[in-house]
Structure 1
Amino acid sequence: MTVRRRFLLAPSFARLIQRERGGLRHVEGFFPERRDRSSWVRLEENKGLLILKTVGPDGEAEDQTDIPVAHAHALLDVCAGEVDYTRTAVPISEGQALVDEILRPGVLHLVTMEFASEEEAGAFRPPEWFGPEVTADPRYTNQSLALHGLAEAPDIPLSDAALNSLIDTLEGRFPAWARLPINRPKARQVPTTRSKAQTSGETLKVNLDEIEQAMMREMEKTPQKGKPE
């Protein structure tokens, strides 16, 4: 059983993460909702998956089966709704945060954590750069976004603490309390944008000071709570 917690993410943070780490494009098509189960097809690069989630007395169970890419395309054509997004896996201590830039049916930025048990999920303390948690809000599931859309993307406040937390994460620095024993397979990521120049096989380090300054300029344009506009 996989337990997930989902959080909103500031668009500028999502852009910075994708610029640093690239991403993998996904398209998910959902079939009409049913009371005790849901099913959808996922297309990720050159891989197709058919996924079935059922609800029973022991909670939710999710099964997936590999299918040919041509079959995935055919199933997407008859789905009731689709969600199209770019996913970037960001290491957090011994786990990884799954950062999604949802492109269709509307623009939205989310970050998901996956856990092996409810105990692990409950013990997780999200870093400062995560936005408000929406795990319990059904509007922010991929199925709901695909079938019903989202009327308006919420504004996510920015702060110095959140920006510093994100930079620490990108530089591989994690607080001691975040070192949870979570191990997940890492999906291969195809860079959609690059901010690292490669010379003679070596990757040059990105100047995070410049990125921080750019982010600070963006935060100055964002109305802060409690401050007059």
Structure 2
Amino acid sequence: MAKEIERKFLVRSDVWRKHVSQSSRLVQGYILSETDRSVRVRIKNDRSATLTIKIGHVGLTRDEFEYDISMQDAQEMIEKALGRVIEKTRYNVEYGGYLWEVDVFEGAHAGLIVAEVELEDASDDPALPPWIGKEVTGDKRYSNQWLAMSAPKAARRNDLSAKA
């Protein structure tokens, strides 16, 4: 069984942009969205697609299953997604021996920038880059699932980014 162990932070400056090793354009939607589980479809760079199932949430850890699917199936599922379709660019930034993924949101969530670091073990304690702001691990308001299922207001969107 696959496990996802990650910490999430707001980003407080653009210094990370100097250290980007790769970027990907992501479009994703939720087929199922429950408190303790979700089914997400994601299209990457208009070339590949995955279906991801996430179940449970204990601390920083949850079960995660991911499968490649056809672009045709992914596009059809995106059209039938619940809530909003999330659009963002993900940037990979290496720091302190860890891969940080910085998501710059577009559309309804433009202005929100979040960084995630995936861990091997929940006890891992990576050094935080200087551009990292407030930790928001476990704050559902910053989960892609919540962002897709909630209708943002401009003021709330600004509040989310301002707390970095």
Structure label with greater radius of gyration: 1
2:28 maps to 1:28: yes
| Identity, % of aligned positions | 25
- Letter matched to residue 76 of structure 2: A
| Alignment: residue pair count | 153
Call closer, same or farther: CA 1:17–1:55 in 2, change over 3 Å. same
Q: How does 1:50-89 map to 2 (within 5 A)?
A: 50-55=51-56, 60-80=62-82, 81-89=84-92
The answer to whether the aligner puts 1:113 opposite 2:117 as a matched pair is: yes
Distance 1:35 1:93, change over 3 A: closer
Secondary structure of the structure 1 residue equivalent to 2:14: helix
Name whichever structure is richer in strand by fraction: 2
State the SS of the aligned residue for 1:48: strand
Task: Please tell me whether the aligned partners of residues 19 and 94 of structure 2 are also in contact (alpha carbons under 8 angstroms).
Answer: no
Matches within 5 A, 1:173-184: none
Q: Cα 1:100–1:18, aligned 2, differ >3 Å: closer, same or farther?
A: farther
Q: Partners of 1:56 and 1:137 in 2: how far apart?
A: 12
In 2: Cα distance, 1:117 partner to 1:143 partner: 23
Structure 2: segments with no counterpart, 5+ residues: none
- TM-score normalised by length of structure 1: 0.60
Residue in structure 1 matched with residue 127 of structure 2 by the alignment: 125
Q: Compared with structure 1, are the counterparts of its residues 61 and 93 closer, same or farther at alpha carbon in structure 2 (3 Å cutoff)?
A: same
Higher relative CO (CA 8 A, sep ≥ 6), structure 1 or 2? Answer: 2
Amino acid at match of 2:49: G
Given that residues 8 and 136 in structure 2 are in contact (C-alpha distance below 8 angstroms), is that contact kept between their aligned partners in structure 1?
yes
Q: Deviations over 1:98-142 (max 9, x none)?
A: 01101132111111100011111xx22312210111112100001
SS of aligned partner of 1:23: strand
Q: Among 147, 150, 153, which residue is 2:149 paired with?
A: 147
Partner of 2:38: 38
Contact 1:106 1:149 in 2 (8 A): no
The 1:21–1:124 alpha-carbon spacing in structure 2 relative to 1, beyond 3 Å, is closer
- Distance across 2 between alignment mates of 1:67 and 1:132: 35
Give the Cα–Cα distance (whole angstroms) in 1 for the partners of residues 20 and 103 of structure 2. Answer: 14
CA contact (8 A) 2:103 2:115 kept: yes
More helix by share: 1
Q: Which runs of 5+ in 1 are unaligned?
A: 158-229
